[in-house]
Amino acid sequence: MSELTPTACTILSEEESAFRDAVREFAESTLKPHAAEMDQKQAMNPEVVQACFEMGLMGIEVPEELGGQGGTFFQAVLAVEELARVDPAVAVMVDVQTTLFENMLLNWASDELKRELLPRVCEDTVAAYCLSEAGSGSDAFALACEAKEDGDDYVLNGHKLWITNAQEAGLFAVFATVDKSLGHRGITCFLVERDQPGFSVSKKEDKLGIRASSTCEILLENVRVPKRRILGEVGKGYKVAIETLNEGRIGIGAQMVGLACGAFELALNYTGERKQFGKAIRENQGVQFQLAEMATRIHASRLMVYNAARLRDGGHPFTTEAAYAKLYASRTAEFVASEAINLHGGYGFTKEYPVEKFYRDAKIGQIYEGTSNMQLQTIAKALIRGGHRP
């Protein structure tokens, strides 16, 4: 496919359609029975995590010879979307594992590290991506976490915040600076095991949404990391993170599309069942207009996400398209989830109906992996440079 049109990017091959359908069936049969309980307990059910591994969802793009499924980035995006239709918390666990951590290893790890680590993260080891700190959010590389060279090792000290998958993870990609005076050129990525001395998972955040997904603080106190566990090269962590996050934003866009679909389907079904004045409320034109607006925004969001994913798989530039996708899909998710609650009336405001969870889960889409303002900045820079036109 040399050029992507607004319709071509949503056409699925037979293989992609079969894959999507299999993930949808998995989400309905395996995730849905646990979603409400996991949200209430603020914990991922270990059986659900294990099922994701057994389904092959934790290693979609990894080559088969390294333990994965040998699939495409687009398939990973499809999986995240379908999981988010049922539970966005499980979707983000898979998203971090695939579009962030594993892609980072595939693109930057030595052959030795690939052979050592990729089979683990495909088979049974959850991974986490540790970039954010108290003083570095949107300014992601104002890092205080330090790494000092000591013989064949680096010694890491500092702490990280907002680390997704931290409660479940056994392997962590930790970004630290080897020399603060070098600015972003000192940033380096280290691969750290959970059981290394001095490494600990601390406070677990009590969140508004995606509550089953663990978000924790990470503490590093004289954690020794062998030089062979550096991802890429010393000082290349900035490039590693930027390129990986650009891909990850497409995954978050897919999560938001799936979330919006889940909320929309609940609203569509409820408005067909709920009767007022002797007829189903979706027979009223006003309700029909609400449903049509919701569906239109979902469709537009999916076009953006799929287009960005197709561009990435095709080896074309996709940074601006990823920003479009994440920005619009996250806004769509919040809008659709809010409208779905409105269409449920008073029931939508209660936990008796699952739609309120989608509304709580939607908000994070405009915050993590680059806030909406950061996406706007990325888009604006592309427009001003003159290399991009809408």
Q: Within a 10 A sphere around the Cβ of 15, how many other Cβ atoms?
A: 11
Domain carrying residue 221: 128-234
**Tokens read off for 144:** 């205080």
Residues labelled catalytic? 369
* Residue 2 domain flag: no
Is 161 found in the same domain as 82?
Answer: no
pLDDT exceeds 60 at position 4 = no
Instruction: Report pLDDT for 1.
Output: 34
- Three-state DSSP class for 234? coil
Residues 378, 283 within the same domain: yes
Give the model confidence (pLDDT) of 222-231 as tens digits. Answer: 999 999 999 9
Which pLDDT score, from 0 to 100, does residue 63 have?
Answer: 98
pLDDT of 7 higher than 70: no
Query: What's 20's domain CATH number?
Result: 1.10.540.10
Distances (CA, A) of 209 to 160, 194, 214: 20, 26, 11
The least confident of 41-45, 242-246, 291-295 is 242-246
Question: Mean pLDDT in the chain?
Answer: 95
- Please name which of 269, 385, 375, 244 lies closest in space to residue 322, comparing C-alpha atoms: 375
Share of the chain above pLDDT 70, in %: 97
pLDDT at 8 over 70: no
Residues 180-230 pLDDT 10s: 999 889 999 999 999 999 999 999 999 999 999 999 999 999 999 999 999
Q: Where are the beta strands (DSSP E) in the chain?
A: 127-130, 146-150, 153-164, 171-177, 187-193, 199-204, 215-226, 230-231, 275-276, 279-280
**173 and 70 inside one domain:** no
* In the predicted structure, residue 53 carries a pLDDT above the cut 50: yes
Sign, CA dihedral 82-85-90-93, equals positive
Q: What is the CATH number of the domain that holds 279?
A: 1.20.140.10
pLDDT digits (tens, 9 = 90+) for 130-142: 999 988 767 767 8
What predicted TM-score, i.e. pTM, was given to this entire model?
Answer: 0.95
Domain total in the chain: 3
**Which pLDDT score is estimated for 135?**
83
